[in-house]
Structure 1
Amino acid sequence: MPFLAPFRPILRDPALLLAAALLLLYGAHAATMAPYVSALAVTVFHLSDSAFSLLLVVASGLAVSSSVVFGILADQRANRRGIALVTGAFLTLGTGLVILAPNAPGFVVAHALLLPLSGSFFGQLFALARLAATTHPEEDRRAVQSTLRALFAVPWVVVLPVWAVAFRAGTPLTAVYPVCLTLSVAILALTALFWPRDGATRWSDTRSGLTFRQSLGEIAGGRVLARVLALGTIHGAVTLYLVVIGLVFELVPGRGAGATALYAGIMAGLEVPFMLALPRILGRVEARSLIWVGMALYAVHLAGIPLLAGTPFVWLLMLPGAAGGAIVLTQPMAYLQELLSDRPGAGASLMALQKLAGDGICAATFAIGTALGGYGLVAGLGAGLGVLGAGMLWWMDRRPV
């Protein structure tokens, strides 16, 4: 069956199958927590808008710093399993802390310190997949990356509607933490049991031979960094969607957390078929043009949410949002890994740098937008910056990278 074609390399390869299973669990963790962090911060733990903006900045800085360090160490020592275990442990500790200390200090420590230190786990999964894919034919490799990213989105389709029903029945927002703890324990257990032993893999994973300073210089080179910053505006738009959707729906009578879960779940469900269809056009459309088109579609979705939140038409925004999201959630990742194709760990850390740039843009846009005009201005600024960044990438790639 044509629908199953993207999955065949994954189902036949134990390492890719592990990456797929971990991405499903990690996606369920993110789907359970990410849409509600802003609402938890403001409405449950009573952080101000400015305090939440500061938390986003601190968390982003720590997440990218640790991801870069872990990525470089993974390339230097080829010890990817050990790093995956460490970052999986931080995910478990950060999730469990809010259960043990259900107050503002516990929330801040978890979301500004422990959970950001776990952020490299996502990049390590794609580094593992990239290395494992080298044992497969060239034509399968790009499809593997897009398919794995689609699997990360699948839990959003299942998990968020369940939460929508639970919240409408009166379940408190803090119930997300025990569920996330269960998921993080499962992630850590699978990593410990099945992640390939360092030095005993079917693929070649040699040490980089670079010093830490040389590795940093490679990452910070102007050619690489300029493109990471341009892509950061796109990540900022995606992050702003998760921030804005919860806050805007909280202000609209009849919406609230249940509508947030339903909207995000349907969006993720629509993204999956678009992602699975992408391998059919990847060889026909250049990356820079595809990313720009995807961001333009996503900008329509993001900017339209505050304008249409109180009307039935808001649900129509999910179609351009899902089509654009399928592109901007997959193609920047593949693009960044190609920038440092010989350094899987450093290539994965570029995703963290993109996240830092995006989260910094998100935090600044949130602070400026709320100070000057409210959540509608926040969404409009984020959409505009994303389109501008995609245009900058297109301009920089007028000649081959």
Structure 2
Amino acid sequence: MSSAPRPRMRVTALLGANMFFSGVTFASTAPYASIVGVETLGLSTAAFATLLSVSSIVGAFLSLGLGYLSDRLPDRRILVLAAALAGMIGHGLIYLFPSQAVFLLAMGVVMPLGLSMFSQSFAYTRVFYNRHNPARADFMVSALRTVFTVAWTVVPPLAGYVAARYSVFNVYLISALSYALCGAIFIVMMTDRATLVPNAPPAPVAPAPAGAAIRRRLPFPILSGVVGLTVIATAMRLAGVGMPLLIVTDLGGSLTDVGLYAGIAAGLELPFMLGWGYLLARLSKESILIFNGLLFALYLFLATGVRSVGDLLWLQGINGIATAALMSVNISYLQDAIKGRVGLSTSLMDVVSISATLLGAAAFGLLGAGGDYRLVIAGAAAIAGLGALVMLAGNLTRLRGPRPARPA
């Protein structure tokens, strides 16, 4: 146990509440973003794909800057507050002024910062537990990721009901209020100085050629793992955009069905997240991620043949197993990627997410141009399988079992 001063408030409970409301911001809007953009506001698939691309490019530069600042600012919580404010403003604008212009402005310019609240919250969580209870740091990150998933279990069906009963833009009000609550939680935490985690200056490193520096920070197995995760995440983004459109078009479903689909998938993830967390003590992170990348590809392949919403819901057991690992084990994997730089390593989460969104947008613009959303899902299946194989190719010697965590 660390000798750091003990906070007077229940930090774990506050971080859990923050992760729940962070989950609400995603769970209330993500299943409906493509429906709002394409079906409600009338954007073409090409325009929506361009919007995702612009947002990704803005986010890429932003995430690199945030990763650099995160390891140097005197208080990491400032970045969480800035992201929460941006998210509240961005989704608040969409709710108050529902138009193509505002949607494009908010999603392309404001929300890249708002969406970084998720990874910045995890950066703070990791360094907080590294300081106060390092033996349980990995477990706490996994546990809080599970809390995030609880929101995905509860919120999408409720958001779907609100969208169908009132207006689909009301889901952005739910998200804006949740961003405000996340910011309020961190403001409360800042009143207790024991929750401040001072940044240690990065250890000096002797100058080296650029190629050698990259190899030292990201050896080939880690680099191939990051690339493989990015490709798998691309498939997840592509499926996340295409599946709601498949439900409301080809399968004749409703907005409520979209919420039910998202809620069931997340509910099934919960027990499997705990199971994969338990297996981390016995299996390597790479083997878990590779197996579930292939399993996710199988799920998407089977989804291309469904004929009703009910058929799709029956497949969510496979989806839950795979997504549980791909959305939880990946966090600790990426946070361990760059030795001694938790903030910079955590920024890899944003880099992977943003790169995946950019690639997924390009794939959606290409595959979805004709309105064939089964083709979109088939493309996502192929991409997921490719990502798993990329990670496998660089990690054949790392699949036997767990290794000691790299120092954070």
Same fold (TM over 0.5): yes
**Is 1:207 aligned to 2:198, yes or no?**
no
Q: Does 1:388 align with 2:382?
A: no
Is the 8 Å Cα contact of residues 31 and 259 (structure 2) preserved in structure 1? yes
2:190 and 2:196 in contact (8 A); partners too:
no
Structure 1 position 378 matched with structure 2 position 373: no
Give yes or no for contact 1:16–1:129 (8 Å, CA) kept in 2. Answer: no
Q: What SS does the aligned partner of 2:28 have? A: helix
Corresponding residue number in structure 2 for 1:288: 286
With normalisation by structure 2, the TM-score equals 0.87
Matches within 5 A, 1:143-162: 143-162=139-158
1:33 paired with 2:26, answer no
- Answer yes or no: is the 8 Å Cα contact 2:72–2:199 preserved in 1: no
Q: What are the within-5 Å matches in structure 2 for residues 346-361 of structure 1? A: 346-361=344-359
**RMSD over aligned Cα, in angstroms?**
2.8
Q: Report if the CA contact (8 A) 2:304-2:374 is conserved.
A: yes
Counterpart Cα distance in 2 of 1:263 and 1:251: 15
- 1:122-173 deviation line (CA, Å, top 9, x unaligned): 11111111112224655523221211111111011111222333345x3221
Alpha-carbon spacing, 1:202–1:178, altered in 2? closer, same or farther (3 Å): closer
TM-score with structure 1 setting the length: 0.88
Of 179, 182, 186, which residue of structure 2 is paired with 1:191? 186
* 2:164 corresponds to 1:165: no
Counterpart-to-counterpart distance in 2, 1:187 and 1:72: 23
Query: Any gaps of 5 or more consecutive residues in structure 1?
Result: 1-10
Task: Determine if contact 1:249/1:309 at 8 Å carries over to the other structure.
Answer: no
The answer to whether the 8 A contact 2:56-2:357 is kept is yes
- What letter matches 2:181 in structure 1? A
SS at match of 1:47: coil
Separation (CA, whole Å) in 1 of partners of 2:78 and 2:163:
38
Match of 2:177 among 173, 177, 182: 182
- Decide which of 60, 65, 89 is 1:64's aligned counterpart: 60
Report the counterpart of residue 85 of structure 2 in structure 1. Answer: 89
Aligned twin of 2:96: 100
1:318 maps onto 2:316 in alignment: yes
Question: In the alignment, is the contact (CA less than 8 A) between 1:249 and 1:259 conserved in 2?
Answer: yes
Residue 42 (structure 1) aligned with residue 34 (structure 2): no
Q: How far, CA to CA, are the matches of 2:214 and 2:65 in structure 1? A: 13
- Please state whether the residue corresponding to 1:284 is helix, strand or coil: coil
Q: Secondary structure at the match of 1:77?
A: coil
Percent identity, aligned pairs only?
27
Q: Which runs of 5+ in 2 are unaligned?
A: 1-6, 404-408
Provide the rounded CA distance (Å) in 2 between the counterparts of 1:195 and 1:295. 39
Segments of 4+ moved more than 6 angstroms: 213-217
CA contact (8 A) 1:246 1:256 kept: no
Superposition map of 1:158-307 within 5 A: 158-168=154-164, 170-195=165-190, 201=195, 205-208=199-202, 223=220, 225-252=223-250, 254-307=252-305
Give 1:343 deviation, angstroms.
Answer: 1.1
Deviations 1:189-212 (A, max 9, x none): 1122214778x547553133679x
Once residues 218 and 184 of structure 1 are traced to their aligned partners in structure 2, the CA distance between those partners, rounded to angstroms, is 36
Say if 2:17 is the partner of 1:21: yes
2:406 corresponding residue in structure 1: none
Matched position secondary structure for 2:280: coil
